[in-house]
Structure 1
């Protein structure tokens, strides 16, 4: 996934942490983690990944775009399901290597490919033998 940079190069630690320039730090695979939450309730909906093109398109369109690691392709969330994620707010973490999107979800309001609202529908329980319980 070789790409030319669409964003500013990271500067000093102080510029990255306190500056006003978006200089995202993508990993060696060209991706950064992105958490999407419901803009109204704060519920965590999903965790996905973005490359430079997905981030650029998200900023330009106001709708969430991701990089599908399983399909190795750019993915406009909701393009086929109708569950378009409209970005209400985008935040970057302190060292600019992770994103948080607060979104409104169209369609049936779901987010997970299993048909559920959130990808986080199971609770890990137990001590010596962890198991999963549907919430």
Structure 2
């Protein structure tokens, strides 16, 4: 992915930190119990070692009627500020289960309008093509 010559304010350039975003070739389904929260054949895989890879699902493929936004937020020096949503059908376990970078740094625009889910809070199933 091409990086802008002048990084966004707050973006931290680190030659030892390699983050990749690739299209996932297959489908991804997110469930809370038997309830489907998201299903997509257009997900992206973000790899950021040493963290596990995360599937980023387009907002259009997420059922936001099953989510409620929260006040929780975090900051990543490589991606920007993350907003969080709770997965209502998961109850207490679903608190802050989905995050998204709604206004990511220019270096991470590929994940704008995509959400990712914590695999310890909901079930994320990936089926390759």
TM-score, scaled to structure 1: 0.29
Structure with the larger strand share: 2
Q: Which has the larger Rg?
A: 1
Q: Which has the higher contact order (CA 8 A, sep 6+)?
A: 2
TM-score, scaled to structure 2: 0.30
